[in-house]
């Protein structure tokens, strides 16, 4: 018997995606933003109404486009997750660091997970951004 999700659970999941302290962005195959959570709004200064439907590369022209396209293409083709660690690439999107006490970083160091979303073929990819600034500052001390 297939698992059924009731409407209450859908609302819970939406609340979690909005409130979780990581960035959640869902992109279609043309890199247009479909989901933009509160973390992304708070750190980018762009609300969902400003981001949804627009190209991620239009919103953040400084993203290394060839690198991200290669990562996304591997996720789509293989149907598996991909990762980027702050030690290899300090950030995907340059956000200001919000370390109120130390203030030792000029930008937010990020780990990024790229997830293929269900579908055959994969039509959407989720980017999950983790703020790793505290770990990066500690490692550099």
Task: Give mean pLDDT, residues 111-123.
Answer: 93
* For residue 3, pLDDT beyond 70: no
Per-residue pLDDT, 113? 98
- Comparing 9 with 73, which gets the higher pLDDT? 73
Residues 53-104 pLDDT 10s: 999 999 999 999 999 999 999 999 999 999 999 999 999 999 998 766 656 7
- Comparing 136 with 10, which gets the higher pLDDT? 136
Residues 13-43 pLDDT 10s: 777 878 788 999 999 999 999 999 999 999 9
Domains identified in the chain and CATH numbers:
7-140 (3.30.450.20)
3 φ, ψ (degrees, to nearest 5): -70, 140
73 φ, ψ (degrees, to nearest 5): -60, -40
- The answer to whether 75 and 116 are in contact (CB under 8 A) is yes
* For residue 1, pLDDT beyond 50: no
Q: Which residues contact 77 (CB under 8 A, 6 or more apart)?
A: none
Nearest Cα neighbor of 23 from 102, 133, 126 is 126
Cα gap 136→127, rounded to integer Å: 20
Cα gap 138→141, rounded to integer Å: 5
| pTM of structure | 0.89
Per-residue pLDDT, 99? 67
């Amino acid at each position: 018997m297939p698992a059924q999700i009731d409407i209450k659970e859908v609302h819970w999941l939406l609340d979690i995606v909005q409130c979780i302290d990581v960035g959640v962005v869902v992109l279609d195959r043309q890199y247009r933003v479909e989901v933009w959570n509160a973390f992304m709004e708070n750190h980018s200064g762009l609300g969902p109404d400003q981001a949804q439907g627009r190209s991620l590369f239009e919103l953040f022209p400084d993203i290394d486009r060839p690198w991200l396209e290669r990562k996304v293409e591997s996720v789509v083709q293989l149907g598996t997750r991909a990762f980027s660690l702050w030690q290899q690439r300090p950030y995907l999107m340059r956000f200001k660091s919000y370390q109120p006490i130390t203030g030792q970083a000029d930008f937010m160091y990020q780990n990024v997970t790229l997830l293929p979303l269900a579908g055959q073929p994969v039509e959407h990819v989720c980017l999950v951004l983790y703020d790793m600034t505290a770990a990066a500052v500690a490692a550099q001390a």
